[in-house]
Structure 1
Amino acid sequence: MSKLFALALGILTAIGGFVDIGDLVTNAVVGSRFGLGLVWVTILGVVGICVYANMAGRVAAVSGRATFEIIRERLGARAGMANLVASFLINLLTMCAEIGGVALVFQLVTGISPLLWIPLAGFGVWIVVWRAKFSALENATGLLGLGLIAFSVAIFLLHPNWGQLGEQLIPRIPVTEDPSTYWYYAVGLFGAAMTPYEVFFFSSGGIEEKWTAKSIGTMRANVFVGFPLGGILSISIAVCATIVLLPQAIAVTSLSQVALPVIQAGGTIAFAFLVVGMAAAVFGAALETTLSSGYTIAQYFGWSWGKFRRPAKAARFHLVMLAGLIIAVIVLMTGVDPIAVTEFSVVFSAIALPLTYIPILIVSNDRGYMGRFVNGRVSNALGIVFLVVILVASIAAIPLMIISGAGQ
């Protein structure tokens, strides 16, 4: 049983990071517009986040130090500060999307405006971050998030034409879509799969759980079980949208449209499981982004941090998280569309990704730092390949956003 719960960090990171509000919306949008022609990007993202998280987790386990402690040491104070500011702002944007996503899930269930749920969502995240133990946080949210398997079950209940679905897996740009729009959503999907906060949370969570070099096996189990599971659920969302929404030309502009295929397939019972999974996944992502805001700032400045410390012993860490939540709630209360925030957050995540990926890649190759746990040939080759992919996605993101009109 203890080994089962040892996987919970990876499950929570995958469900609350890979399948957060960004993934729910982006995969549904892509499935409803491009069918399965962008599934290859999700698969690429799964491999990429496994490579990235495996390096970051190994560095944390061997050194006992998390991502932003290493970034400051390797890049120096000035370059590290630029990295910190960019990463924190992207994380804050993602936090806004996740808090808004929690409100949208409650709107889906109650029909009450998300503006009334946003302050309650922010308060709920703060109470859990402040009071709950890290182990309770990861176990409860991660396991409840498995309700998202409703998307995978719905595929079979919908009795699709498997041959037609298989043909759609061949990457192609629909005649009704501009190439710039196709590649814009490709970058968005990649950004949704490899959001930096996933790794901030994962490596810092390893420190919270007191990983050592002996924990590398557990860390790898977290990575290679959790993230592929998240990838399967993400692809399931796109497949459901392809089966139900694409033939009817339904544009995804709300969370109810994301849920429509599951409701059509399994009715009320399936919807109930889905809502629990959505709420847990998005709330888990809100917890991750909130904790990541505290982790990044506290690690860079050398403050006391962590859920394993009482709030009074890590006051500045908790203050940063509270400030981030207040800002996120204020931004959302202006009436900004959480779905629009979500779409922008995944693209900007792709832009910021090299800032944290490169230092981790460098450190994981430093034998003086890592000893016998440095990257092997395969890990290093994959690390370099994904560095190129990440740089291309980061450079292309803004031009594609401008040319495509943000995917319009």
Structure 2
Amino acid sequence: MKRLLGVALGILTAIGGFVDIGDLVTNAVVGSRFGLSLIWVVGVGVVGICLFANMSGRVAAVSGRATFEVIRERLGPRAGLANLGASFFINLMTVTAEIGGIALALQLVTSIHHLLWIPVGAFAVWLVIWRVRFKIMENVAGLLGLCLVVFGVALFLLQPDWGQLAGQAMAPAVPQTESAAVYWFYAIALFGAAMTPYEVFFFSSGAVEEGWKVKDLVQSRINVLAGFPLGGLLSVAIAGCAAVVLLPAGIEVTSLSQIVLPVAEAGGKLALALALIGILAATFGAALETTLSSGYTLAQFFGWSWGKFRRPVRAARFHLSMIICLVVAIGVLATGADPILITEYSVVFSAVALPLTYLPILIVANDPQYMGKHVNSRAVNLAANVYLVIILVASLAAIPLLIITGAGA
């Protein structure tokens, strides 16, 4: 049972990373416009994040220190600052989007305008970070997020033409109604969402919060191999529901209410209620992750005391930095900015920042000074270098495709 509950860190990281507000919408948009012809990207993303998250967790378990902290020491302050700047900017954008996502989910439940829920959501995130122990936080948020499994159940209840869906997935092609540029723009967006930098920093820092040692390396691999593929399967289910219900009806997804429409059609009010709980838990979990990751990266770079395992008064700058991030998020959202649009931009910019995140992790994971005999194997390094090429291509193509397609319009 202890080992089973230990998987909660992987579940929370996966649900918060794969199925946040932006990914909910992106997968639904992709399903409603391309069917399952882009679902291969999810598979590529799952393998990639498993590869690098496992490295990150191993670095934390072996060295007893968070990955970002080791990166700054190993590569020096200049390289660390470039890594900090890219990851912190993406984190802040995603914090803003997730707070907005919480508000949108609460609007669906209560019919009260989401702007009124923004300060409530931000306060709730701060309160959990301030008062709730890390273990309780990850267990509750991760397990409630499993309600999103209802999308998979709904897909079966809809009784789709499985042959047609398999054909879309196994023989991907650009639909006649879409351009190749838009197709590849969404491919990069899905890849950026799967490989978002804050996932590995949160996973690594969470390992330190839980006091992982070398003996916990097996637990780390279980977390990675259970959590992230689960997030990928949930993404596929969301896209599949949209492909079955929204694509034939010509409905383009622009809101959360359209995302849950297939679930309501398949399972009625009970299924809809479970979907809303799952969405709220996923967005709240992602808000916790990104807010904590913002504090983690700043504190680890500047050498501040950090962590929920310390009393707030002993990690004051760590907690203050997170409060500032939440205040900034409230300020941006108060202008009426669309949380979904913010997140869609954040996943594209995540793709731009990926080389600055994953190359340093690969370097550290191969350094015997920190890793001893637990450095990467040749097979892991080969796979990682292949992924670095993919990451570099995605990074270089992201902004040009953003401009050419008008953000996939």
Structure 2 unpaired stretches of 5+ = none
Residue 71 of structure 1 deviates from its aligned partner by 2.1
SS at match of 1:204: helix
1:337 aligns with 2:338: yes
Quote the residue 2:325 is aligned against.
Answer: 324
1:26 and 2:26 aligned: yes
The match for 1:235 is: 236
Deviations 1:288-340 (A, max 9, x none): 00000100000001110000000001000000000000000110010001111
Equivalence map 1:33-72=2 (5 Å):
33-72=33-72
Structure 2 counterparts to residues 173-192 of structure 1, below 5 A? 173-192=174-193
Contact 2:71–2:364 (CA<8 Å) still a contact in 1? no
Give the CA deviation at 1:52.
0.8
CA apart distance, 1:79: 2.5
- Where does residue 312 of structure 1 map in the other structure? 313
**Match of residue 276 from structure 2:** 275
Taking the aligned partners of 2:198 and 2:21, their CA distance within structure 1 comes to 14
Q: For residues 275-314 of structure 1, what are the structure 2 equivalents within 5 Å?
A: 275-314=276-315
Q: TM-score with structure 1 length normalisation? A: 0.99
Q: Is the 8 A contact 2:51 2:384 kept in 1?
A: yes
Task: Give the conservation status (yes or no) of the 8 Å contact 1:126–1:322.
Answer: yes
The CA distance in 1 between the partners of 2:15 and 2:144, in whole Å, is: 10
For residues 241-281 of structure 1, what are the alpha-carbon distances to aligned partners after superposition, in whole Å with 9 as ceiling and x for unaligned? Answer: 00000000101000000000000000000011111111111
* Alpha-carbon RMSD: 0.8
1:394 maps to a residue whose letter is S
Q: Tell me by how many angstroms 1:75 deviates.
A: 2.5
State the 1:165 CA deviation: 0.9
CA separation in 2, counterparts of 1:95 and 1:171?
33
1:64-103 to 2 correspondences below 5 Å: 64-103=64-103
Task: Kindly state the Cα deviation for residue 64 of structure 1 after the two structures are TM-superposed.
Answer: 1.0
The answer to whether the Cα contact below 8 Å between 1:71 and 1:356 also exists between their aligned partners in 2 is no
In the TM superposition, structure 1's runs of 4+ consecutive aligned residues that sit over 6 Å from their partners are: none
State the Cα distance separating 1:366 from its structure 2 match: 1.6
Amino acid at match of 1:189: L
Query: 1:220 and 1:86 mapped to 2: Cα distance?
Result: 27
Structure 2 match to 1:365: 366
Query: What is the CA distance between 1:377 and its match in structure 2?
Result: 1.9
Q: Contact (CA 8 Å) 1:70, 1:359: kept in 2 or not?
A: no
Q: Given the two structures, how large is their TM-score scaled by the length of structure 2?
A: 0.99
Task: Classify the secondary structure of the residue corresponding to 1:245.
Answer: helix
Return the offset for 1:4.
1.0
Equivalent positions of 1:191-206 (< 5 A) are 191-206=192-207
2:387 alignment counterpart: 386
Shift of residue 223, structure 1, vs aligned partner: 0.1
The CA distance in 1 between the partners of 2:386 and 2:79, in whole Å, is 24
Aligned to 2:351: 350
Please state how far the C-alpha of 1:368 moved relative to its aligned partner: 3.0
- Letter of the 1:53 counterpart: A
Aligned residues: 408
What code does the residue aligned with 1:349 have? S
Shift of 1:82: 2.4
Answering whether residue 276 of structure 2 is matched by residue 257 of structure 1, we say no
Contact 1:49 1:193 in 2 (8 A): yes
What CA deviation, in whole Å up to 9, does each residue of 1:39-71 have, x standing for no partner?
A: 000000000000010111101110111122122
Mapped to 1, the partners of 2:167 and 2:68 lie a distance apart of: 44
- Are 2:219 and 1:218 aligned? yes
In 2, Cα distance between equivalents of 1:391 and 1:338: 27
- Kindly state the Cα deviation for residue 343 of structure 1 after the two structures are TM-superposed: 0.7
Matched, 1:145 2:145: yes
Alpha-carbon distance in structure 1 between the residues aligned to 2:71 and 2:89: 17
Query: Separation in 2 of the partners of 1:80 and 1:377?
Result: 26
Residue 369 of structure 1: CA displacement? 2.3
Aligned to 2:5: 5
Q: Displacement, 1:83?
A: 2.0
Give percent identity, aligned residues only: 67
Whether the 8 Å contact between 1:86 and 1:352 is mirrored in structure 2 is yes
1:161 matched to 2:161? The reply is: yes
Q: Is the 8 A contact 1:97 1:339 kept in 2?
A: yes
Question: Any idea what the Cα deviations from partners look like across 1:178-212, whole Å, max 9, x if unmatched?
Answer: 11100000000001111111111000000000011
Which amino acid in the other structure matches residue 330 of structure 2?
Answer: V
SS in 2 for 1:309: coil
> Which residue identity does 1:236 align to in structure 2?
A
For residue 218 of structure 1, report the CA deviation from its aligned partner: 0.3
Rounded Cα–Cα distance in structure 2 between residues aligned with 1:246 and 1:306: 45
Return the offset for 1:19: 1.0
* Offset from partner CA, 1:55-99 (integer Å, 9 cap, x none): 111011101111221221132112321221221111100111110
Q: Distance in 2 between matches of 1:225 and 1:80?
A: 30
1:28 counterpart SS class: helix
Note if contact 2:82-2:356 (Cα within 8 Å) is conserved in structure 1.
no
